[in-house]
Structure 1
Amino acid sequence: MPELPEVETVRRGLAPAMVGARFSRVSLRRANLRFPFPERFSARLEGRTVAGLARRAKYLTADLDSGETLVMHLGMSGRFDVAMPDGSNTSPGDFYLDGAQGTPKHDHVVMAMGNGATVTYNDARRFGFMDLVPTAGLAACRHFAKMGIEPLSADLTGAAIARLFRHRITPLKAALLDQRLIAGLGNIYVCEALHRAGLHPERPAGTLARADGGPTPQARRLAKVIGQVLTEAVAAGGSTLRDYVHPDGSAGAFQQAFRVYDRVGLACRTPGCAGAIVRIVQSGRSTFFCATCQPSAMPVRVLRKRDAGGP
């Protein structure tokens, strides 16, 4: 599944074709993706102009001049192909390297824009979806109502991490992946951020808050490196992995800078570290880290289960 940097790459690639343009014709090749399309989906889009294209966590949102917002999620294999009026063709969501992704039989939504561009949504596994919601109620809609803070916003601070994680005995990695707390973080970039912060993924999340609820130095460092990792990944165009190339068709390049993810058995890239990357499984997902840089035997405040204030 594409993570935040990949979705932001898609947004930037779609913007020239969509922002300020009117939907001339919207063709649906099937009645549903993960969910059925909204009632009169094509009719509610046709004739409307895209006032802005944004990203919320791993979602794309296109504000329309009708007062509605088109919400789009890529799911596991969703991607967009864009044919511009100058004859150029791009794929600002093509992070996929194998399988049947990208073949025409998986073209499910074709959007002809008034500026001459054609935007085609392709989804081999059909785990993505599209919805239309009132713009005025976007933050409270079913997609975003319980969503946490944006990790690339000024809201993500050491104090925010301490407040969100206080009293939680859940492993730190699990807390970072909880979209109700911080929205948009995924497995790849959490592994990378924890390594840069020198924090063990199984450390209790609540230990990043002091007894008075304030942030520890580790909480401040983690907030800083999360922003750094995501910013670098966006600049690199995201990561190209097994399932998951870029607006110009080239591959996302951030995987070349991975310090831990998918590097099990290889030497740690921290200068002066003699450790190697190991893999454990947490909640059915692979976690990669360096046991030397991210030690588990570290002085932490032990939390009792009855102290836990969250899931």
Structure 2
Amino acid sequence: MYLGICNNTGLVYEGMSSADIPSIPAPSVTQAKLILEEADWLDLPKGLTTDPIRWLFREESFDPVTRTRRGRLYVPQAGQAQPNQQRVGLHPYEDPMMRQSGAGGKVAKTLYTFSACRTLLDMRNQGQGLTLALGNASAASPWRIIQSEALATGSVLVTLKSLSVFAIVPAVDYRKIATEHHPAVAEAIDRVLSSAFRETPTSVVDHCRAALTVLLSRWLFQSGHETNTALALDLGALAQRVEARDMTCVAKAAQIVARLHARGKPNEQHARRLRSLEVGDDEFALESVGLALREFGWAVR
């Protein structure tokens, strides 16, 4: 299955043997980048006209409740200059009266052309579990591939799950936090948001541990439960003191994040024969930061 985008109008064409049939209604098409390592975030597409040799995602459906998208994935057509000239059927959006018909009912157009992304199916687990960035360098969002299928037409259909941190870590209501604590809290949360789903699990856990240390210590001090000494404690000690104040869920989550942080150290892994941090561990750490904000009443409602 092929897909083409006119370099002049942006109209989309498709077909089994070539991209020559107008795609009606016009689909939503986005450049895509498979994220295999942290450095890949520095190599996002720069736009179709200036950086066309990139993957494309054609959206078929979007569910805002479950935050999932389904669509077809394409790669630049091999052996073709980008863009290249093709003969295509008349597009009703461009010529509704069909007055420009040429030989065989087709007209010449210059298209960026793409073919089904069989590359993904050749990867381990057909790419399931990998992260796909949609968009370009000016604005991109991370999505996890949770299912991949080969359609009868030869197309590659993928189901994506949003990895947006804003669905996990709520916005902070700084009106509920003492003014002197604003800079420390803001810096800690910004680091969490910047690292989420873009850095390694170890790095994300580290940032979440630092954020939880700030949140728990400031909550204890602001609530009158502790003196300034709380601002110098590590996360394990803070979790014990928070648990004593009936914040059991926050305390237990913080203790687990502290343990995960220790697992990120090679010496700790070797000494205790622990596995290294993986995708999923970072998501737990992010959820723990969100839990703390909600439990302390510091989340925007």
Q: Which has the larger radius of gyration?
A: 2
TM-score by length of 1: 0.28
* Higher RCO by CA contacts (8 Å cutoff, separation 6 or greater): 1
TM-score by length of 2: 0.28
Instruction: Name the one with the larger helix percent.
Output: 2
